[in-house]
A and B are shown apart, each in its own frame.
Chain A
Amino acid sequence: MAHEHGEVDELEPLWWGLFAAGGGLTAMFTPAHILLQNVLGAIGLPVATSSYERTRHLTANPIVRLYLLALTSLSLFHWAHRFRYYLMDFGVSGGRRAIAAACYGSAILGTLGALVTLLRLPGGKA
């Protein structure tokens, strides 16, 4: 991969680190979430996230919130890094700086959104 010299590329090890951490975490955890919550849960299996009370109860736990922050935020950083180079694979050759800024910027905004969402969750007692 070719790099122009600039701020974004000096941060490359950071972006790569977040990419790798996100890749590992989502590889381990995401398929089970989608299978249970969005496939089996959607066709009637009584999973926790289908229930308002159970989800409130579970997400009242700070460790669960920390886990959800890591999982969602790192999913976004993993996407940002891959998508940046994906565009090049499709033949986009201009605007590298702008593409990198848009991808990582989205991930940073998404992380802030996740932080706000998770901090403002109601407690366990409905």
Chain B
Amino acid sequence: MSNSQIKSGWIRNVAPAPGGYHGSDQPGLPFGWWNANRRYTIYMLREASSVFVALWALRFLMQLGRLRRGKEAYDGFVRAQRHPLWVLFNLISLGFAALHSVTFLQLAGVVQTVRLGERKLPPEQVTAGAFAGWAAASLTVIGALLFGGLRSRKSETEEV
């Protein structure tokens, strides 16, 4: 157990960490601390997922912004997204987004208390409900993206 002091003068007790991480005498955490064991690595990956999720949201907004500039501009954006490097980046983003979903929804059971009248639902049931919600939401999105707006294309020739 050691105390570490940071610039603001705040002193914290550093508890012995489980699973093989050994603290350092230097203030703050050593740079590679998340490499010490798998849990820490997953934790840092989970935190990183928010970067990919937010970047996706921004890119989607940029794509929608192209709608104003006409069909050419919009189709150009969509075509650019077919580049193998973009597909690779999006596969990585999908991996991070899924990691975020799994870790966040697992936590739902731990932090969210659901009461039905007098009865408190056990955490496993809350988590199961969260995953069921994920499935329902995903199906809604998939349905909207597969079938949404089809009427607007009726008079046009089908895309290959």
Interface residue count for A (Cβ, 8 Å)?
Answer: 62
A48 & B31 in contact (Cβ 8 Å cutoff):
no
A38 & B50 in contact (Cβ 8 Å cutoff):
no
The 8 Å CB contact of B65, one of A50, A52, A117, is A117
A79 & B50 in contact (Cβ 8 Å cutoff):
yes
Interface residues on B, range: 35 or more
A29 & B64 in contact (Cβ 8 Å cutoff):
no
Give the shortest distance, in Å, between B41 (CB) and chain A (any CB). 12
Residues of A within 8 A of B67 (CB): 52, 55-56, 59, 121-122
Residues of B within 8 A of A114 (CB): 61
Whether A37 contacts B145 in the complex (CB less than 8 A), given A42-B86, A89-B34, A126-B152, comes out as yes
A42 & B87 in contact (Cβ 8 Å cutoff):
yes
The 8 Å CB contact of A27, one of B29, B61, B100, B144, is B100
Interface string of A94-126 (1 = CB under 8 A from B): 101000000000000010011001101110101
Whether A30 contacts B65 in the complex (CB less than 8 A), given A48-B145, A57-B152, A126-B152, comes out as no
Give the shortest distance, in Å, between A119 (CB) and chain B (any CB). 11
Residues of A within 8 A of B60 (CB): 33, 37, 68, 72
Give the shortest distance, in Å, between A2 (CB) and chain B (any CB). 5
Closest B residue by C-beta to A77: B54
A/B interface sample: 5 pairs, CB < 8 A: A32-B137, A52-B71, A57-B149, A59-B64, A83-B50
